[in-house]
Structure formats: C-alpha cells, structure tokens
Amino acid sequence: MIDMDWLLARCIVTPHGCLIWLGANSGERQPGRRDTGRGYGKVRIDGIGHYVHRLVFNEMVRPVERWEEVDHLCARWFAEPYLSRLCCNPEHLEAVPSLTNQHRRILPPPHSLRGTSGRFVSNIGAE
C-alpha cells in the first residue's frame, strides 16, 4: 500500500481542482529519447514503476480492471491538454474501456477554440 499523503504532497492544486504531479513523468529524457514534457506522472515503489493517476485511482476509487484505461476527464477544460496527463485528482479520473478513451481523445469539444487538439467527453462506447 502506498502512502497517499506522501504522494499527494508532491502535487499542486490548479484553479480547476486538478492535482498536478510534480515528480517524474514518462515524457522526461531517457536514453535515446528526447524530453517531450508531455508524459504521464510516474513513481517507483519497491523498484516497480507506476503511473501516478492509475495508482491514485486504484487506491482511492477502486481497482482498475485489466481491460480498462484511466481517462483524465479534466483534459476537456485544459488549454494545454497534455498538462491533464499529470493530474491525479480521483474526481477527475474515470476507468473506461479503451474504445471509449480513444473516442474521447479524437473528438473535439463543440465549444472548443483549440480545433482538433481538444477532447470531448461523451457516452460513445460506454456500457
């Protein structure tokens, strides 16, 4: 079991209530790769790497099924959707089938000024 106080102490809160992970992320420089800064929050526990948003969801909401992905609902209101990947607020996360997550990722919100880079939360593929 992870010490959630330790984990959440390494986050900042945005005006929208996102808990942005300030630690390592999967987009950081690795041998042979450039630093994109667009990764998901990562942490090592007992030598095993974990995505922070999945870890928080597993600990604070419910276990994520093998066939599910944890979607960042807050991506729809971020001007920079990649920043939402660092959010680990359990209220902003939802475990959904992969197909649902894919649909949400590619469809722009109707009110978006960002064009196709936006995200749209819908019931497509929902059960």
In the numeric block, which tokens belong to residue 113? 């000024």
Domains along the sequence of the chain with CATH? 4-117 (3.90.75)
- Using CB atoms within 10 Å of the CB of residue 66, give its burial: 0 to 12 exposed, 13 to 18 middle, 19+ buried: exposed
Q: Whole-angstrom Cα distance, residue 127 to residue 125?
A: 6
pLDDT tens digits for 7-19? 889 999 988 899 9
This prediction has a pTM of: 0.74
Give the burial string for 86-116 (b: 16+ CB within 10 Å, else e): bbbbbebbbbbbeebbebbeebebeeeeeee
Mapping DSSP to helix (H, G, I), strand (E, B) and coil, where does residue 29 land? coil
pLDDT tens digits for 36-67? 557 899 999 899 999 999 999 999 999 999 99
